């Protein structure tokens, strides 16, 4: 297995209509039973296949919405494709199909106290982030100090 990375999970208005809805999910749903760190998400585009292979246990995932980082968590598993996809419901009540799952360490899930722009994180990376794509920004060791200053528990 390789070295842990920092990556961004984007969120659409269909899944979480507001930043507050995503923050609520991160602080009160994802870490608690029955979720206990289990995170479901849709298809990953063909351009992002490298993403799946590089997100390993210990990787730092940043949760983004509309160009802002709203939270973070440490992966405890690799991304697993669900076959068949799992049927569920979005925060807005729409029917959804989830093609992938990953588990996070429940105690590592944090909501950012300060607003952090994706652009601020990109300054530590040589990659530009597409707001709608899953992306690897770099190795976790290179981002730890920067992110610790911004994503402290609320």
Model confidence pLDDT, tens digit, residues 57-89? 999 999 998 888 899 999 999 999 999 999 999
pLDDT in the model for residue 129: 53
Domain boundaries, the chain: 5-149
The number of residues in the chain equals 154
Mean pLDDT of 87-108: 93
pLDDT in the model for residue 122: 60
Asked if residue 90 has pLDDT above 90, the reply is: no
What is the spatial distance between Cα 62 and Cα 100, in angstroms, rounded to a whole number? Answer: 17
Cis preceding linkage at 65, omega within 30:
no
Model confidence pLDDT, tens digit, residues 2-12? 899 988 898 98
* Token pair of 49 as six digits: 């296949």
Indicate the CATH number for domain 5-149: 3.10.590
pLDDT in the model for residue 123: 58
Asked if residue 154 has pLDDT above 50, the reply is: no
Mean pLDDT of 13-31: 93
CB atoms within 10 A of CB 28: 11
Measuring CA to CA, which residue among 70, 66, 62, 144 is closest to residue 114? 70
Kindly report the pTM of this predicted structure: 0.86
Cα–Cα distances in angstroms (integers) from residue 120 to residues 27, 31, 60, 66, 135, in the given order: 23, 26, 16, 14, 15
86's enclosing H/E stretch is strand 80-89
Report the share of the chain in percent with pLDDT over 70.
76
Model confidence pLDDT, tens digit, residues 102-139? 999 999 999 987 666 666 566 555 555 555 567 777 88
Measuring CA to CA, which residue among 47, 61, 71, 72 is closest to residue 4? 61
Report residue 134: phi and psi, to 5°: -75, 130
pLDDT in the model for residue 134: 75
Asked if residue 100 has pLDDT above 70, the reply is: yes
pLDDT in the model for residue 35: 94
State the chain's mean pLDDT as an integer.
Answer: 83
CB 128 within 8 A of CB 67: no
């Amino acid at each position: 297995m390789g070295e842990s990375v920092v990556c961004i999970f984007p969120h659409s208005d269909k899944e979480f209509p507001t930043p507050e809805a995503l923050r609520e999910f991160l602080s009160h749903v994802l870490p608690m039973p029955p979720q206990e760190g289990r995170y479901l998400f849709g298809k990953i585009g063909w351009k992002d296949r490298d993403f799946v292979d590089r997100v390993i246990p210990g990787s730092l995932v940043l949760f983004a919405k509309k160009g802002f980082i709203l939270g973070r968590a440490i992966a405890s598993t690799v991304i697993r494709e669900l076959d068949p996809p799992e049927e569920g419901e979005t925060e807005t009540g729409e029917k959804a199909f989830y093609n992938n799952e990953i588990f996070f360490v429940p105690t590592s899930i944090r909501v950012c106290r300060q607003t952090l722009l994706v652009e601020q994180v990109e300054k530590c990376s040589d990659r530009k982030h597409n707001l709608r794509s899953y992306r690897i920004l770099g190795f976790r060791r290179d981002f730890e100090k920067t992110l610790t200053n911004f994503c402290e528990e609320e």
